[in-house]
Structure 1
Amino acid sequence: MSPSAVQHATKTIRLTSAWRSPARSLSIATARSRSDSRSLAPFPRRSIQTATKWRPVQVLDEWVAKEARPISLRQLMVFGRSLTEQRLISSANYVRTELPTRIAHRIRDMQRLPYVVVTNPHISDVYDLYYNAFDMFRRVKEIKTLEENERFCQEIARMLRAHLSVIPKLAMGILECSGLMEQRELDRFMNTILRSRISRRVIAEQHLALTETFNSPWFSPGAKLSEGEFIGEVFLKCIARDVIERCGTAVQALARSANGPDVQIPEIRITGHMEASFPYILSHLEYIIGELLRNSVQAVIEHHARSKKNQGRPPPPIEVTLCEAQQHVIIRVSDQGGGIPRDILPYLWSFSKGPKSAQRLENLTQVPLMAATLQELRVDGNFSGLQDGKAGPTPPSYAHARAHDGSLTSLSTRPPHLRLGMGLPLSRVYAEYWAGSLELHSLEGYGVDAFLQISKLGNKNEQLATRATMDSL
């Protein structure tokens, strides 16, 4: 490597103390000596500012030593059902200490990535976002008044907006680094950091929603919220059939927009336990169901169009079966879209690998912000299929979320035909977050069966990475 390349690599790494961890500390001299054997060729040559403020690693160590305190949907419901000023302030202080703890763990994960991975500009940008958020939240003093809570909520909302760029940046960084780490390690890192992102947004948005409820003119402090309402972001009675019907109509509108008005759209049929319901974060369920139905609808359209014998016939329907048991609800989505191609099947749940990685990377450059919600997919400038009364009533999650700037608020326009190749792995992260599961079974030449299992009681803690599992990375 030439002296100029070595100098560029040394500048790019930005080796402040923030990048050093007890397990893997690299000095500038060590970085220079290793630069001969580590190529930066896969990364776009982009100048990164070297004037980074001093970040004492001891501060991070103190927060990493703390364990995150996991919560369940039931805890969120019970805590917020009888909302008082004292409970709201208690919620603020939980968020005040929990956010920097959870962010600190993810910063340490990034510090332990190999040298050539942390130099990636996208990973580096995410690191800066995380460290700035950590540095801001760790300095917030104990909240004692409603006025202090209002100022705190403004900071939370600002952070949520700023971090809408995290998913596309992470995805691009992981794809660009796919040859520099094992696929299994990259995917494990991505799953951990995305699950943690969900956890932070859940507790942040829950507090914003509780504050919004407390400040509403109709709310009486201490009064119990009635059944069927939201408690913060938790929808107490999430009826699976209603969500599927709403998402199905939206997905059909997306398919019509992406494939043209003359395309034959498959019918979505729902059978089984039609009244199955459970408490849930509605945007999480909408995203998972939306992605499963999008994949099925598009597969059926393409498979039906390829077969000459199908000319003049309507495409086969997509069958959605609801099964309600004592402790969980299973949603099966079955299509006749020809199954998953054999070359894609091994990479179905991977963020970092696949035969279409180059196309995914190109598409991601067109999505600077991503909330990971169904609502961010737009048709003609409106929320997909959810406008002008064509798709039935406005979904509660959208109406409920408009009052504050959280990840439910779409701040970007994502074309409906733009495939990012991360819908299924991200849907599995969402499903497993509340101790559920998502599995797919492909019948080559016929179709796919997807099985989504959801904990019905809401008593399962969020699935977070512990310090022990992080240390094993």
Structure 2
Amino acid sequence: MAAKKLCESFSKSLLDEVHRCGCMKQTGVSLRYMMEFGSKPTLRNLLISAQFLHKELPIRIARRAIELQKLPYGLSDKPAVLKVRDWYLDSFRDLKSFPDIKDNNDELEFTKMIKMIKVRHNNVVPTMALGVQQLKKALHPKVHNDGLEEIHQFLDRFYMSRIGIRMLIGQHVELHNPNPPPDVVGYIHTKMSPLEVARSASEDARGICLREYGSAPDVNIYGDSNFTFPYVPNHLHMMVFELVKNSLRAVQERFMDLDKIAPPVRIIVADGLEDVTIKISDEGGGIARSGLPKIFTYLYSTAKNPLCEQPDLETANVATMAGYGYGLPISRLYARYFGGDLQIISMEGYGTDAYLHLSRLGDSQEPLP
């Protein structure tokens, strides 16, 4: 079925081109380079940036399209995965059929097109999650308990690559903003306050907790409110939101039926010479040691699966409180994308500490899967 569909909708010459491009070397960039290059968004720089993306994006997209066709356990044939693969092939075709970028009019047209590509890929994460769920349903339980290592590794590469593609496109598109806010270069805020971002992410997470449970523990934040460093605020927001959301859920579920007041979730922001570390601590009862290795896999969640309740993909993008089992592994990829990391340390019977390390040097190259 899959092979038939592929030949019908995509020409052989396009697929040959995908394989040719997929063998080419990717070029990573660092946060510092994006920041310095984007701080002067002259017409010439925008032209250079577009020419780079015109060469680089097809290579990255081709690599993922090839991998999507070679997944184990028949994952490649699941309807949701076929849908994602078609988005990648469509985007590859759009990029390859765009002529060389010679002047600023070409650059503006190209920018319009990659903006469309970014929108086309908006639902990749929930759609892939659905594909994995479709696979889980079909698999013998023995298989997926043995840890589908190959699928986890593929998804790590796949989502890491997606973060990079979206960062490069988003950064280029944002540089066209005629009135950027002060200290903002594309997606990067050169004087981002981690405390401010943590505050806003916590409020968002509490909002969801209130909606779902009718109440939410407090979140107390400690650190220097004047401290800033260059980073991508929406990446940090996403990671803190995810971690605080997990903590709120754990505390809420542990204290809901007791007559005690739920203890607050605590966030501490520390600025070291190399790293900015954000620690999120809760007293939500912790995670059993046997469960810890599973928390960074894509086939595990302690919550009900939202996709079982919403088989319709169009609604699968709502911010549910939990359930894809994707929040932690994807947050760790966001941290690693700019040279940081995420560690979870747990005391079963008490609570959990999440340490989010962010590299403040901005020199590390993108990790290119």
Give the TM-score normalised by structure 1.
0.71
2: distance between equivalents of 1:115 and 1:450? 33
Q: 2:10 aligns with which of 45, 53, 58?
A: 53
Give the deviation of 1:177 after TM superposition: 2.5
Give how far 1:419 is off: 3.2
Aligned to 2:229: 278
Residue 149 (structure 1) aligned with residue 107 (structure 2): yes
Partner of 2:55: 97
Aligned to 2:349: 445
User: Is this contact kept in 1: 2:71–2:151, CA < 8 A?
Assistant: no
The aligned counterpart of 2:199 is: 245
Following superposition, the deviation at residue 416 of structure 1 comes to: 4.2
Q: Secondary structure at the match of 2:174?
A: helix
Whole-angstrom CA distance in 2 between matches of 1:102 and 1:127: 13
Q: How much identity, in percent, do the aligned residues show?
A: 28
Contact 1:442–1:449 (8 Å) recurs in 2: yes
Match of 2:2 in 1: 13
Distance 1:74 1:127, change over 3 A: same
Answering whether residue 329 of structure 2 is matched by residue 433 of structure 1, we say no
Q: Quick one: which of 235, 242, 254 aligns to 1:303?
A: 254
- AA of the residue aligned to 2:222: T
Q: Which residue of 2 aligns with 1:124?
A: 82
2:314 paired residue number? 368
Query: Deviation of residue 253 (structure 1)?
Result: 2.0
* Total equivalences in the alignment: 361
Look up the match of 1:47.
Answer: none
Query: What is the aligned partner in structure 2 of residue 29 from structure 1?
Result: none
In the alignment, residue 169 of structure 2 is paired with which amino acid?
A: A
3-state DSSP class of the match of 1:365?
Answer: coil
Contact 2:72 2:150 in 1 (8 A): no
What is the correspondence of 1:34-433 to structure 2 with a 5 Å cutoff?
A: 51-56=8-13, 57-114=15-72, 116-178=74-136, 179=139, 183-212=148-177, 216=178, 229-260=183-214, 263=215, 265-307=216-258, 311=259, 313-340=260-287, 344-353=291-300, 359-363=305-309, 365=311, 368=314, 414=318, 416-417=320-321, 419-433=323-337
CA shift, 1:275, in A, is 3.6
Q: 1:110 to 1:146 in 2, by over 3 A?
A: same
After superposition, what is the alpha-carbon deviation per residue over 1:112-154, rounded to whole angstroms, capped at 9, x for unaligned?
3247222111111111110111111012222122222221122
Aligned AA for 2:314?
A: P
In 1: Cα distance, 2:301 partner to 2:266 partner: 28
Aligned to 1:368, the other structure's residue is in SS state helix
Encode CA deviations 1:185-211: one digit per residue, 9 max, x unaligned. 111111111111111111101110112
SS at match of 1:144: coil
Aligned residue for 1:243, secondary structure, equals helix
Whether the aligned pair in 1 keeps the contact of 2:31 and 2:364 (CA below 8 Å) is yes
1:277–1:456: 8 Å Cα contact kept in structure 2? no
Mapped partners of 2:89, 2:315: distance in 1: 19
- In 1, distance between residues paired with 2:315 and 2:166? 15
Question: Which structure's CA Rg is the greater one?
Answer: 1
Q: CA deviation at 1:415?
A: 5.3
Aligned equivalents of 1:355, 1:278: Cα separation in 2: 35
Please report the RMSD computed on the Cα atoms of aligned residues, expressed in angstroms: 2.4
Aligned-pair distance for 1:281? 1.4
Distance 2:61 2:129 in 1: 18
- State the distance in 2 between where 1:324 and 1:355 align: 33
TM, length-normalised to structure 2? 0.90
- Note the residue ranges of structure 2 that are not aligned, 5 or more in a row: none
**C-alpha separation between the residues in 2 aligned to 1:201 and 1:252?**
27
Higher helix share: 2
* Secondary structure class of the residue paired with 1:424: helix
Change (3 A) 1:192 1:415: closer
Encode CA deviations 1:257-310: one digit per residue, 9 max, x unaligned.
Answer: 2222xx3x3221222444443211111110000011111112111111233xxx
Conserved? CA contact 2:245–2:321, under 8 Å: no
| Structure 2 contact 127–313 (Cα < 8 Å) conserved | no
Residues 196 and 464, structure 1, Cα contact 8 Å, conserved in 2: yes
Q: CA deviation at 1:418?
A: 5.6
For residues 5-59 of structure 1, what are the alpha-carbon distances to aligned partners after superposition, in whole Å with 9 as ceiling and x for unaligned?
A: xxxxxxx12257x6xxxxxxxxxxxxxxxxxxxxxxxxxxxxxxx7323233431
Q: What is the DSSP-based 3-state SS (H/G/I as helix, E as strand, rest coil) of the residue aligned with 1:306?
A: coil
User: Which whole-Å CA distance do the structure 1 matches of 2:64 and 2:241 have between them?
Assistant: 28
